[in-house]
Amino acid sequence: MFLQVKDKFIKRKEEVEVLLSDPAVIADRKKYQELTREYSQLEEINAHFSDYERVTSELESNRELLQDDSSDSEFTELLRSDIEKLEKEEAVLERKIKELLLPADKNDDRNTIVEIRAGTGGEEAALFAAELFRMYSRYAEKQGWRIETMDTNDTGLGGIKEIIFSVEGNQVYRKFRYESGVHRVQRVPQTESSGRLHTSAVTVAVLPEAEVVEIEIDPKDLRIDTFRSSGPGGQSVNTMDSAVRITHLPTKIVVQCQDEKSQLKNKTKALRVLRARLMEKYESEKQKERAEARRAQVSTGDRSAKIRTYNFPQNRVTDHRIGLSLYNLENIIDGELDELLGELMAYDYKQVMEQMLDDHGRTCSANHSK
């Protein structure tokens, strides 16, 4: 399947190469930078295609030699060893090409702000919200990413009503974008003496973080209120009005931060969250225009959509968008998200490849009919 679309990338690389030598493009700094970036990506894709062709060709030859060799000689063992190494190399190249062929999102490399809110289910939902935060924290730690809490509202019983945190690192949004939506949990609560299965829901929103220069905020559009930070039960935990609430008057978006003892630090964090929410609002309005083109891909932005169920009695996690069930809930809750996220990325990849092959087929038919 890979090699059927290889020509598409070779042709595009040649086109970009010509464009980069065009004086008009060179004079347009922004356009030149975009094409330089694309050319670098195309070089990487084509290099991996070449490696993949080489490996598959060697594999085919070695397998034919092994089939023809009926002896149990040293040469046979050498062939088997080479085949094993080549198969591992082939798998690595396949995975890398799939990642490279996924449609690039301009937000892939951005740091990300994640908001987790307990929904239906009372304290049980709040407890699960806390578990999801731990799950994402452990996954981030394994990826070498950095987490910073922006605002927390806990219940005092180990649960979290709401938590907002930022995640910084390489390709954060590319992985976390699949987490936006409603996460359901089905289990018997510890407080339930009758052993009745309980269903609760938690909402997760994943927002790419906006740069200051991207989202300009007029200070006149803001109402800023300060208040004392509060802990579980509503009691004040600081004696100073360090907590900050910011209302963006044109959109009525409200954000608040109270985790820092410094009012200035809380204001800075609140503005980061506000920029991310404003960018999400503007982007969602744009996406409505191209919703048809994205319909086949995995839903990654609708926070009202039920995306996943965690069933504890069955040790099962089901992602409803792609109909996938994995029976390793304990590992997933412990931050082992690679398999789950990998399947979601693979689904997106499959849609992209099918579209590419379809386009390739139409182009061949058009050329043949000329």
Looking up residue 124, the CATH number of its domain turns out to be 3.30.70.1660
Examine residue 353 and state whether it is found in any structural domain, yes or no.
no
Examine residue 252 and state whether it is found in any structural domain, yes or no.
yes
R_g (Cα) of the chain, nearest Å: 26
Q: Report which of residues 66 and 311 the model is more confident about.
A: 311
- Banded pLDDT at 1 (limits 50, 70, 90): low
Q: Are residues 294 and 158 in the same domain?
A: yes
Has residue 114 got a pLDDT over 90?
A: yes
Has residue 4 got a pLDDT over 90?
A: no
| pLDDT computed for residue 340 by the predictor | 92
Residue the block writes with tokens 């030699």: 65
323: left (phi over 0), alpha (psi -120 to 50) or beta: left
Looking at the DSSP bridge assignments, the partners of residue 203 are 117, 182
| pLDDT computed for residue 293 by the predictor | 43
Does residue 184 contact residue 200 with C-beta atoms inside 8 Å?
yes
How confident is the model over 313-334, as a mean pLDDT? 95
Residues 6+ apart with CB under 8 A from 308: 181, 183, 184, 317, 318, 319, 320
Residues 6+ apart with CB under 8 A from 285: none
| pLDDT computed for residue 296 by the predictor | 47
Number of domains in the chain: 2
Could you tell me whether strands 253-257 and 306-311 are parallel, antiparallel, or unpaired per DSSP bridges? unpaired
> What is the percent of the chain with per-residue pLDDT over 90, rounded to a whole number?
40
CA 339 – CA 327 distance, rounded (Å): 12
CA 20 – CA 30 distance, rounded (Å): 12
> What is the percent of the chain with per-residue pLDDT over 70, rounded to a whole number?
81
| pLDDT computed for residue 292 by the predictor | 46
Does residue 25 contact residue 15 with C-beta atoms inside 8 Å?
no
| pLDDT computed for residue 231 by the predictor | 57
Range in 147-156, 290-299, 326-335 with the lowest mean pLDDT: 290-299
Q: What is the residue-averaged pLDDT of the chain?
A: 83
| pLDDT computed for residue 258 by the predictor | 87
Examine residue 60 and state whether it is found in any structural domain, yes or no.
yes
Domain with 116 in it = 112-348
Q: Are residues 93 and 199 in the same domain?
A: no
Has residue 360 got a pLDDT over 60?
A: no
Q: Are residues 88 and 220 in the same domain?
A: no
CA 272 – CA 137 distance, rounded (Å): 20
Does residue 39 contact residue 16 with C-beta atoms inside 8 Å?
yes
Q: Are residues 67 and 151 in the same domain?
A: no
Has residue 33 got a pLDDT over 50?
A: yes
Has residue 116 got a pLDDT over 90?
A: yes
Of the segments 7-16, 95-104, 230-239, which one has the largest average pLDDT value? 7-16
356: tokens are 């590419």
